[in-house]
């Protein structure tokens, strides 16, 4: 038996496979069900008991050696195949999937571009804000019901240090801009904002805004109106009309909400504009003198205007998207439709 094992071992050691067919024949000859090694295992019952331990080890080793031989040839055949593959120049090229920019990014970039053409620079602020920047400096007195207009996600509630929260609007960046810069200030602030609202086709707890701020000597409501008319025409087309309705924000006085003539039906009345011909797109107003003073700007010398709009809303109107949730689901069938948009 020992001699037989030694001979088979020699045969295995000296074997060289030139092709995968030869390797398969080798496998059948030695490791197949009726192969040489299997025969030896079948004979094992005839081995004398005192030799069994030694022969058992030799047999198992033999089986492993044969398997290793097969594996090493298999690997080398595989790497030859892999090396050869790139040389086949007739193969069609792999298809490269083209990504698409998210529609909200497309619109944010367009809003930035429109305002930069009339001299607005871009600035950003933190998404986690303190009470001062999100509320107090913006003329929301403590316990004032206006704070309830925006359901806040609080991170830390503290009477002595002040509350820390996720910002509920980008107006917080106005404050930072005025605190850190001397007028004239002309800037827009794009960013993510957070409100504790139930998710539906028309509302989400995370959304995006662009805030605008212009502070200088003699800035008037007429300047605000002209600036917003320019924006509406650039964004929704030359024939777009605007209308301003009186409104209330603690940080602007007077305050207004701006509607544009419905870009979907051209003002004739449809589902989007609820058959009124007008859709609301932003809030705006003259910066309240209290806010200027809170930020270290002399309200006798300077005036200014501010406005804030939701990027989701603008995007829905521009592309006729009816459900806000689509922006957050990342369904490629939706996103792919924006391929090529900048």
What does the binding site for ligand PHE look like in residue numbers (CB under 6 A)?
169, 171, 211, 249, 252, 283-285, 306-308
We find the least distance from the C-beta atom of residue 93 to ligand PHE, in angstroms, to be 49
We find the least distance from the C-beta atom of residue 88 to ligand PHE, in angstroms, to be 59
Task: Return the bridge partners of 45, or none.
Answer: none
223 SS3 class: helix
* 136 versus 252: smaller Cβ distance to ligand PHE: 252
Task: Return the bridge partners of 286, or none.
Answer: 305
On the 0-12 / 13-18 / 19+ scale of CB atoms within 10 A, 223 is middle
We find the least distance from the C-beta atom of residue 135 to ligand PHE, in angstroms, to be 11
* 30 versus 191: smaller Cβ distance to ligand PHE: 191
37 SS3 class: helix
We find the least distance from the C-beta atom of residue 149 to ligand PHE, in angstroms, to be 8
As a three-state string, the secondary structure of 268-312 is CCCCCCCCCCEEEEEEEEEECHHHHHHCCCCCCCCEEEEEEEEHH
CA 168, distance to chain mean position in Å, is 20
224 SS3 class: helix
We find the least distance from the C-beta atom of residue 152 to ligand PHE, in angstroms, to be 12
* 66 versus 211: smaller Cβ distance to ligand PHE: 211
Query: What whole-number distance in Å separates Cα of residue 332 and Cα of residue 162?
Result: 42
Which secondary-structure segment (H or E) carries 207?
strand 206-216
* 103 versus 212: smaller Cβ distance to ligand PHE: 212
Name the residue with the smallest CB distance to ligand PHE. Answer: 308
We find the least distance from the C-beta atom of residue 224 to ligand PHE, in angstroms, to be 10
We find the least distance from the C-beta atom of residue 265 to ligand PHE, in angstroms, to be 26
* 36 versus 209: smaller Cβ distance to ligand PHE: 209
Residues 94, 96, 102, CA angle at the centre, nearest 5°? 165
On the 0-12 / 13-18 / 19+ scale of CB atoms within 10 A, 284 is buried
* 8 versus 284: smaller Cβ distance to ligand PHE: 284
* 169 versus 204: smaller Cβ distance to ligand PHE: 169
Give the helix ranges, DSSP H, for 16-51: 20-31, 36-43
């Amino acid at each position: 038996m020992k001699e037989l094992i030694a001979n088979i071992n020699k045969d295995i050691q000296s074997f060289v496979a030139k092709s995968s067919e030869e390797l398969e024949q080798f496998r059948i000859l030695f490791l197949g069900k009726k192969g040489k090694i299997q025969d030896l295992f079948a004979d094992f019952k005839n081995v004398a008991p005192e030799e069994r331990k030694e022969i058992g080890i030799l047999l198992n080793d033999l089986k492993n050696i044969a398997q290793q031989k097969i594996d090493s040839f298999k690997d080398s055949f595989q790497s030859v195949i892999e090396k050869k593959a790139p040389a086949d120049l007739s193969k069609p090229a792999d298809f490269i999937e083209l990504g698409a920019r998210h529609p909200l990014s497309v619109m944010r970039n367009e809003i930035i571009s429109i305002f930069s053409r009339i001299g607005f620079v871009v600035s950003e602020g933190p998404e986690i804000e303190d009470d001062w920047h999100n509320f107090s400096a913006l003329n929301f007195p403590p316990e004032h019901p206006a704070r309830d207009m925006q359901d806040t996600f609080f991170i830390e509630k503290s009477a002595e240090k002040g509350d820390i929260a996720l910002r509920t609007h980008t107006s917080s960046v106005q404050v930072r801009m005025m605190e850190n810069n001397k007028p004239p200030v002309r800037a827009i602030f794009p960013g993510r904002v957070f409100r504790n609202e139930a998710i539906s086709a028309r509302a989400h707890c995370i959304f995006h805004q662009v805030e605008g701020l212009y502070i200088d000597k003699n800035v008037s409501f007429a300047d605000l109106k002209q600036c917003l008319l320019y924006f509406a025409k650039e964004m929704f087309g030359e024939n777009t009309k605007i209308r301003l309705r009186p409104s209330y924000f603690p940080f602007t006085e007077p305050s207004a909400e701006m509607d544009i003539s419905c870009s979907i039906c051209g003002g004739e009345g449809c589902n989007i504009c609820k058959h009124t011909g007008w859709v609301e797109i932003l809030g705006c107003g003259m910066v309240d003198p209290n806010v200027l003073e809170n930020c270290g700007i002399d309200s006798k010398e300077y005036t200014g205007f501010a406005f804030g709009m939701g990027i989701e809303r603008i995007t829905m109107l521009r592309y006729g998207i009816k459900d806000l949730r689509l922006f957050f689901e990342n369904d490629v069938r939706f996103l792919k439709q924006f391929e090529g948009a900048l």
